Homo-oligomer: A and B are copies of this chain.
């Protein structure tokens, strides 16, 4: 598995890992029941400590997106597409709320918020994987 990691970010490494794996699961790029790379293998591949990958997987496990099977490794939890979409929507909504709230507090009104939202949609629509 290929991940884009950087240590010049505020975001902890384990969070970068879990975020990117989560995106692939929710987007359906990883099939239900598909096995994830083992902790050790992924750690080696992306050049981080075993524990860092472990924390990332732990987080996804707690979210219910992946499951550890004894002695076999981690596997993508079976979920309906609508369940995946629902999770993605909730995450997006939760992330959006404070952004909109702060922009409003800084004096922007709804038409402005909309206009800029659309320009961001357009700017980024054609780009490759943004993670």
User: A residues bordering B, Cβ < 8 Å?
Assistant: 7-9, 12-13, 19-20, 22-23, 26-28, 67-72, 84-85, 87-89, 91-93, 95-108, 110, 112-114, 116-117, 119-121, 123-125, 127, 129-131
Residue in chain B with minimal CB distance to A23: B105
Q: Which of B71, B101, B107 is A26 in contact with, Cβ under 8 Å?
A: B107
User: How near does chain B come to A76, taking the closest CB pair, in angstroms?
Assistant: 12
Q: Which of B85, B106, B113 is A91 in contact with, Cβ under 8 Å?
A: B106
- How long is the Cα–Cα vector from A113 to B95 in the complex, in angstroms? 12
- How long is the Cα–Cα vector from A124 to B110 in the complex, in angstroms? 11
Tell me how many chains of this kind the complex includes. 4
Whether A103 and B91, one on each chain, are in contact in the complex, defined by CB atoms closer than 8 angstroms, is yes
Whether B92 and A108, one on each chain, are in contact in the complex, defined by CB atoms closer than 8 angstroms, is yes
- How long is the Cα–Cα vector from A113 to B88 in the complex, in angstroms? 10
Which one of A22, A67, A105 has the greatest number of beta carbons of chain B within 10 Å?
A: A105
Q: Which of B8, B23, B67, B106 is A8 in contact with, Cβ under 8 Å?
A: B67
